[in-house]
Amino acid sequence: MKKLAFNLFRTALASVLLMAFGTAASAESSRPNIVFILADDLGFTDTAPYGSEINTPTISALAAKGLRFSNYHTAGSCAPSRAMLLTGVDSHRAGVPNIPEMLPPEQTQHPNYRGVLGHNVVTIATLLQDQGYHTYIAGKWHLGMTPDLLPSARGFERSFIMADSGADNWEQKPYLPIYEQANWFADGKRTTLPDDFYSSRFLIDKTIEFIDSNAGDSEPFFAYVPFQAVHLPVQAPQEFIDRYMETYDGGWDELRRQRYLRAVELGLVPKNSAMVDMQTTADWDALTPAQKKYQAKRMAVYAAMVEAMDFHIGRLITHLRDIGEYENTIFVFTSDNGAEPNGPADPDTALTRFALARQGYENDYETLGLKGSFNSIGPSFASAAASPLSYYKFYSGEGGMRVPLIIAGEALQSQSAMTSAFSFATDLAPTILELAGTQTPQPRFGNLRYGGREIEPMIGRSLVPLIEGETTRVYDDHEPIGYELGGNSALFQGDYKIVLNRGPVGDGQWYLYNIVDDPGETRDLSKSESRRFQAMLSAYNRYTKENGVLPVPKGFNAQQQVALNGLRERAGPAILIGILLLLIVLPFVFYARARREQ
């Protein structure tokens, strides 16, 4: 009898253990792959799901399989965005309040103003790797290039990255004279690019190579693909350029208006919303036919670069289907900031051509966008890329901060849906971790530590409740979200935003907008809602104190600072730096002078 009872107990125990381990094994095997795709300098309406005329069928397919965000915000420049995206921590606390190339020396004396990712933060790559994920990166890093700061030391198992703010898309060449070389690294060591390099194609090739290297071990992967597209220099293969050669003949004003109408039609902005006319936008009708033709091709190359990126994302998705991983993969697609306005307003000047030639570039019409060519779209088409929003990259206007965000996957509850809930760059790290079934680090005995060191807590909110339809917003009306970059500032609270944009485009004054009803920031409410305005200003001041935000030096000019820092670093080619300064800043100098004369 005792033996029978013992056998029954043993059988029952074995069954329980089998069920427990089986459940755990099942949960382990069902953990999703995560593909995090980050475009560079992509405007709010630069893809088809957001109202663009640019052909982006892959991104459209992702939107049909997930949730589009119409009120997602990021930083106005690349490195601060990347720091927040990978850590869920405010950029000032993460050590990256601005790109390092733009930080004045008065600020770099402070430990949180070095422009590189601090050791007081932990990346989602580290957290996922510690939970058994394979972690890969192929693309732009821009968070530090010393051995302790490269991706191989920040949680990435395999990496092939460019460490600078940008580089040529056709060859290993720096795009600005502030760099001696284009700094590419493979698994923590300097490397060289192949002769047949084109950035978007190569980065997807590398991502596929990394995924395939561990395809047989059944462990999930986190693949981070930060594209160079569509950062300067704007370059694309000829077959993509040819598709847009007549698309932009109507000019930037017409394009901005067309995209606004499509955004309204898609429900991205309210029907009664308005747009500002950016004073940096040139008069299209004042151009000669030859000038219009050239400007239209500048934008055609830009559109081609966007479509080429979309095409290569499609290659990655096709490969995931082929190896049976597509249905178990969640995709996150977004941009690091709004459209890039820099570049000469008139590329056809002797000064522009001389400066480009010294850097090994030309900008002839026939070869624009091809190898050896330097192209940009300038502030006029940048405003169209951000339509119907105001401002663009570097600034705190919606055009610099509001960008596309799509979270998609076959297994997600949200399919072909859209949310107008406010969300911020720091929200993506906890979202990705929750989707992967990984907890954010939790304090013990009052201290938050990870990997043997104290770390900053993630401040972002997981967006999973929005994805699963459990709520309509993750921030309540009283929670402030502060932001600052290079003196350009903002604070979001509920449907409202206070914003300050410095010169040369802004006037250095605070304004209050309801960015849900008025995403174009056309109706200042600072006087009609003065109590709210003052309360939000007080909240912003608290944010600066709590996060160690430093004021910019008197007379600070971001583009000039880049040139001065480049001169200081290289201590030689002053003439190139001077030319760079004129090339980048001249359009805004003319604009500022025109404003003073009004």
Token representation of residue 348 = 């056809």
SS3 percent helix, strand, coil of the chain, rounded to 5, is 40, 15, 45
Q: Does the annotation mark 78 as catalytic? A: yes
Compute the distance between CA of residue 164 and CA of residue 141 in angstroms, rounded to an integer: 7
Distances (CA, A) of 555 to 158, 395, 551, 560: 43, 16, 11, 10
Ramachandran angles phi, psi of 491, nearest 5°: -145, 130
Helix (H, G, I), strand (E, B) or coil at 230: coil
Compute the distance between CA of residue 407 and CA of residue 65 in angstroms, rounded to an integer: 8
DSSP strands (E only) in 269-367? 329-335
> Of 73, 134, 142, 231, which residue is the catalytic one?
142
Q: Which is nearest to 156 in space by CA: 138, 136, 140, 139?
A: 136
Compute the distance between CA of residue 221 and CA of residue 134 in angstroms, rounded to an integer: 4
Q: Does the annotation mark 142 as catalytic? A: yes
Name 419's bridge partners: 69
Q: Which is nearest to 473 in space by CA: 461, 481, 483?
A: 461
> Of 73, 78, 92, 231, which residue is the catalytic one?
78
- What's the count of helices (H) and strands (E) in the chain, helices before strands? 17, 18
To the nearest 10°, report the CA torsion of 173, 338, 313, 360: -20
Token representation of residue 76 = 């106005």
CA R_g for the chain: 24
Q: Which is nearest to 426 in space by CA: 391, 466, 458, 383?
A: 458
Label residues 140-160 b or e (16+ Cβ within 10 Å = b): bbbbbbeeebbbbbbbbbbbb
Give the strands of the sheet with 221-226, arranged side by side. Answer: 189-190, 184-186, 158-162, 134-140, 221-226, 33-39, 329-335, 405-408, 66-69, 417-419
Compute the distance between CA of residue 186 and CA of residue 260 in angstroms, rounded to an integer: 42
Token representation of residue 95 = 């050590």
Compute the distance between CA of residue 547 and CA of residue 90 in angstroms, rounded to an integer: 8
Compute the distance between CA of residue 302 and CA of residue 308 in angstroms, rounded to an integer: 10
What residues act catalytically? 78, 142
